[in-house]
């Protein structure tokens, strides 16, 4: 990444509330025009980081630059960013039109021009003709659109969204996800989106920063986060993952020789991991990359044998829990139902074998 990529540059930012550290030494770059998500469990500091971008909280140390401008001295009302609040914060004493036109005061436009802009943006968020409604006459989804319109009409360089879909029901949420994505593409504004819902983050984002305990664990595209998480925390947070404890035996020309529990010695690509001889680590594999066999498979590919503990039927898929001797946790295996035979074949207690393609197993960073 070159420095011109850094539309928003966050440099060694820390935030303390009293002696409590809410943000611990975060550095990252957000590119121009990208849909960027902050993903993490509740309380991990997502809102705090977003509020520092908006200017409602100041960093205890470190620097935030937006479009090359250092932000530390810029008050929130002069920053080129706008925010969609978690509870939408629609002004109850104003109607929809005045809510949306609220930020236009500074532009000193004639009334007719203001109205024209409001109508235009109402069309964009699919609320035409709602200008005269009061805030309390709107549904949750409509309030959300008003909050979006109110921020977008100012054409900010960055739009900040704090769990904007959290209060909506599932169906509406999925519909709004599609619309958010469409909107972001059509206006070309950089979105920084906070969510604790990994599926939502994967669906919407160009890139995601996974956070935990005030730290950023990994910044990557959705597919890289899923396919190549760099730590056990990230792997656990995004989807389901099976882990096997391992110890590095040796490291040579980009490959690690590992001693893996239940599997024995195996060579794997080292990737970017800083592992060296003697380190304890983990190897990981996704449930859907494992093939379940009722009979011992032929060939010399690595295979684990175990007993089927439980089967969960999920319609299009089935989930299997397999206990493998020598492993602490049982294995999760997921399979499309059109690739397996259903029925009594999956009775619990029966012996099964697990295999996978060579590149499905990968090594994580240091524990």
Partner 1 sequence: MIDAPLTGTRPAVVQERRPGRLAGLFHRSESLRGYTMLSPTMLVMAVGILAPFIILLAMSFWTRQGFEFDTTPTFANYARAMSEPIFGAFLARSFWVSGIATVATVLLCYPMAYYVAFHVHRNKMLWIVLMTLPFWTSYLLRVFAWKVILGYEGVINSALLSMGLIDAPLEFLLYSQTAVIITLAHAWAAFAILPLYVSLEKIDRSLLEAATDLGDGPAWRFLRVTLPLSMPGVIAAVFLIFIPTTGDFITPALLGGPDGAMIGNLIQLQFGAVNNWPMGAALSIVLMLWIATVALVFLLVTRKAQERLA
Question: Which is closer to partner 1, CB of 193 or CB of 237?
Answer: 193
Backbone angles phi, psi at 313, to 5 degrees: -90, 125
Considering only residues 124 to 163 of the shown chain, the ones binding partner 1 according to CB under 8 A are 150-151, 154
Instruction: Kindly give the pairing relationship between strand 207-212 and strand 215-220.
Output: antiparallel
Choose between 15 and 143: whose C-beta lies nearer to ligand ADP: 15
- Are β-strands 20-30 and 331-336 bridged in parallel, bridged antiparallel, or unpaired? unpaired
- The pairing of strands 242-252 and 280-285 is antiparallel
Q: Is residue 22 at the binding interface for ligand ADP, with CB under 6 A as the rule?
A: yes
Contact 70, 19 (CB under 8 A): no
Angular region, 239: left φ>0, alpha ψ -120 to 50, beta rest: left
* Residue 248, CA distances (Å) to 104, 243, 267 in order: 61, 15, 10
Of 13, 28, 37, 45, which one interacts with ligand ADP (CB under 6 A)? 45
What 3-state DSSP class applies to 82? strand
Check residue 75 for interaction with partner 1 (CB under 8 A). Answer: yes
* Angle formed by the axes of helices 140-152 and 111-124, nearest 10°: 130
Counting contacts by CB under 6 A, is residue 19 touching ligand ADP?
A: no
Query: Scanning residues 36 to 55, which ones bind Mg ion (CB under 5 A)?
Result: 47
Smallest separation (angstroms) from Mg ion to the CB of 57: 12
Cα separation, 1 vs 232, in Å, equals: 25
Span of 5-13, 43-51, 66-74, 292-300 interacting with ligand ADP by CB under 6 A: 43-51
What does the block give as tokens for 216?
């950023």
Establish if 76 lies at the interface with partner 1 (CB under 8 A).
Answer: yes
Give the binding range for partner 1 (CB under 8 A) out of 3-11, 99-107, 240-248, 305-313. 99-107
CB of 11 to ligand ADP, least distance (A): 19
Q: Is 44 in the site for ligand ADP (CB under 6 A)?
A: yes
Displacement of CA 14 from its chain's centroid (Å): 21
Task: Name the residues that contact Mg ion, by CB under 5 A.
Answer: 47
Task: Name the residues that contact partner 1, by CB under 8 A.
Answer: 54, 56, 75-78, 81-83, 85-87, 89, 91-94, 98, 102-103, 105-106, 150-151, 154
Task: Name the residues that contact ligand ADP, by CB under 6 A.
Answer: 17, 20, 22, 40, 42-48
């Amino acid at each position: 990444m070159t420095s011109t990529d850094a539309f928003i540059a966050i440099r060694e930012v820390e935030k303390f509330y009293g002696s409590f550290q809410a943000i611990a030494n975060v550095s990252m770059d957000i590119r121009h025009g990208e849909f960027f998500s902050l993903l993490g469990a509740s309380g991990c500091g997502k809102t705090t980081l977003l509020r520092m971008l908006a200017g409602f909280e100041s960093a205890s140390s470190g620097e935030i630059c937006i479009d090359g401008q250092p932000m530390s001295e810029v008050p929130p009302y002069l920053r080129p960013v706008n925010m969609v609040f978690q509870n939408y914060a629609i002004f109850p004493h104003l109607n929809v039109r005045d809510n949306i036109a609220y930020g236009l005061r500074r532009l000193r436009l004639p009334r007719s021009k203001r109205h024209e802009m409001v109508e235009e943006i109402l069309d964009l968020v699919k609320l035409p003709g709602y200008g005269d409604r009061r805030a309390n006459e709107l549904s949750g989804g409509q309030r959300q659109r008003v909050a979006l319109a109110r921020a977008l009409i100012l054409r900010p360089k960055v739009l900040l969204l704090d769990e904007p879909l959290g209060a909506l029901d599932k169906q509406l949420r999925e519909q709004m996800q599609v619309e958010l994505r469409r909107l972001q593409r059509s206006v070309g504004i950089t979105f920084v989106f906070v969510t604790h819902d990994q599926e939502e983050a994967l669906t919407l984002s160009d890139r995601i920063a996974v956070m935990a305990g005030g730290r950023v664990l990994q910044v990557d595209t959705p597919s890289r986060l899923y396919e190549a998480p760099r730590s056990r925390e990230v792997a656990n947070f995004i989807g389901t993952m099976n882990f096997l404890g391992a110890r590095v035996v040796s490291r040579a020309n980009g490959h690690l020789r590992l001693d893996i529990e239940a599997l024995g010695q195996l060579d794997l690509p080292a990737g970017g991991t800083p592992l060296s001889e003697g380190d304890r680590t983990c190897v990981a594999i996704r449930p859907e990359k494992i093939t379940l066999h009722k009979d011992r498979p032929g060939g010399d590919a690595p295979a684990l044998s175990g007993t089927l503990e439980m089967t969960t039927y999920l319609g299009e898929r089935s989930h299997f829990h397999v206990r493998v001797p020598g492993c602490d946790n049982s294995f999760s295996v997921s399979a499309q139902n059109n690739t397996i035979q259903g029925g009594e074949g999956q009775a619990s207690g029966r012996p099964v074998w697990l295999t996978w393609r060579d590149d499905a197993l990968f090594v994580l960073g240091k524990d």
